[in-house]
Amino acid sequence: MTSDTLKKTPLCESCQKAGGKMVDFHGWYLPVQFNSIIAEHKAVREKAGMFDVSHMGQVFVEGPDAWHFLQYMNTNNIKNTPPCGTYSHITDEQGHIIDDAISFCLTPEKFLVVVNAACIDTDVAWFKKHAEKFNVKITNDSAHWGMIALQGPEAVTHAEKLIAGVSEMPRFTIKEIELYGAKGYVTRTGYTGEDGVEIMLPAEAIVTLWNDLLQAGVAPCGLGARDVLRLEAGYLLNGVDADGNQTPYEAACGWVVKLTKEDFVGRVALQAQKEAGLKSRLTGFVLTAAGVPRGGCKILKDGAEIGRLTSGTYSPLFKGIAVGYAPAELAEGAEVEIEVHGRKIPAQKVKTPFYKNRV
């Protein structure tokens, strides 16, 4: 695919101007890095960095049944008090993960659901398929919104200068804003393991915001740094760490399944799996010798393959880190080997997240 046929965000030109090395990411033309992934990682862990996440989807769910509908579509208990957001999984009848998303309560009858870029069409179709039994309106508003994730220990200070009150917002809340003459939203969320915000604004305003943050010294960061940061923080990458064949339990996200709440899609299957126990589970590994693990690498125990990695990288903080599906009974601290380019590298099972700092 050439860059001409790829989808572009309103910040595409700004990213290129800032030196972004552009790649095809699920059909989107996005920066994988600016100057150096290691420098961008450091900026987010120590100061502040920003990511163009305009490719992510915004779906509004409105109507008298909005909350009941989202309760039915999500495994987690969705909060119905503004301005709260709830991270949850959306599963099919088999309990397999379709997407992970955050539902923000704007009013008890209006929610903003922020979904993964690659899942927008699937999620909207899935919502609409189940909406008939509910008095609810579903609007895919993704094309209207640009979005910047501003992350790092200094992120909120930067945001506060532009949007008064951000520093008072609790984690996982949303606030309606007006900035550069446009209406938008700010949420106290992120995908890096640091404090920060995500700001949604229409195209023209999001470009102004990008430029103002650049001026203020915020480092532009790409998908490469984002992947290292999220893996360190133990966040699931849907489509990679879950490919449509795993449940939230298997993906080590059992905490988002609330079997005791009202009925939801996938509940019966998830209840059954919980009772039967798990065969395999997404498991964290740290290499104990030099090397860089990657998705697809074999996990070996006593020479035999026991699973495959789904994600792996070089972490500036922890060196070779990875997650992959391994037998659920594998003990904490168990010694395994990861096969990288035919080389067997010793590794150890560890608890995730690898990085347990701020949020």
Partner 1 sequence: MHTAENSKYCKTHEWAYLEGDIATVGISEHAQQEIGDIVFIDLPKVGQQVTAGQNCCVIESVKSASEIYAPMSGEIVEVNEALGTDPALVNRSAHTEGWLFKIKVSAPAEYDGLLDLKAYQETI
Which residues here bind partner 1, judged by CB under 8 A?
A: 32-33, 36-38, 224, 227-228, 290-292, 294, 313-314, 340-341, 343
CA separation (Å) from 128 to 109, 118, 125, 308?
A: 17, 17, 5, 35
Alpha carbon distances (Å) from 85 to 81, 101, 136, 157, 350: 9, 10, 19, 22, 30
Indicate left, alpha or beta for 286 from its phi (over 0: left) and psi (-120 to 50: alpha): beta
- To partner 1, the closest distance from the beta carbon of 223 in angstroms equals 9
Which residue, 175 or 230, is less far from partner 1 as judged by CB?
230
Q: Could you tell me the smallest distance in angstroms from the CB atom of residue 340 to partner 1? A: 8
Residue 156's SS3 state is helix
The answer to whether 280 and 247 are in contact (CB under 8 A) is no
Q: How far is the CB of 40 from partner 1 (least distance, A)?
A: 10
Residue 24 C-beta: closest distance to partner 1, Å: 14
Task: Pick the closer one to partner 1 by CB: 184 or 291.
Answer: 291
Say if residue 269 is exposed, middle or buried (CB neighbours under 10 Å; 0-12, 13-18, 19+).
middle
Smallest distance, partner 1 to C-beta of residue 315, A? 9
* Structure-token pair, residue 157: 């200070």
C-beta separation of 149 from 191 below 8 A: yes
CA 260 – CA 257 distance, rounded (Å): 9
Token digits for 22?
Answer: 């552009």
**Coil, strand or helix at 34:** coil
Residue closer to partner 1, measured from CB, 165 or 296: 296
Of the pair 3, 107, the CB lying nearest partner 1 is at 3
To partner 1, the closest distance from the beta carbon of 47 in angstroms equals 18
Question: Measuring CA to CA, which residue among 72, 33, 359 is closest to residue 187?
Answer: 359
Query: Which C-beta is closer to partner 1: that of 270 or that of 292?
Result: 292
- Nearest approach, Cβ of residue 84 and partner 1 (Å): 35
| Runs of H (alpha helix) within the chain | 12-17, 37-46, 66-73, 120-131, 155-162, 203-215, 223-232, 267-276
CB-nearer residue toward partner 1: 97 or 321:
321
The distance of closest approach from Cβ of residue 292 to partner 1 in the complex, given in angstroms and rounded to an integer, is 4
User: Whose Cβ is closer to partner 1: residue 143's or residue 289's?
Assistant: 289
Tell me whether residue 112 or residue 321 sits nearer to partner 1 (CB atom): 321
Distance between CA atoms of 339 and 280, rounded to whole angstroms? 19
**Angstrom distance (rounded) from CA 277 to CA 324:** 18
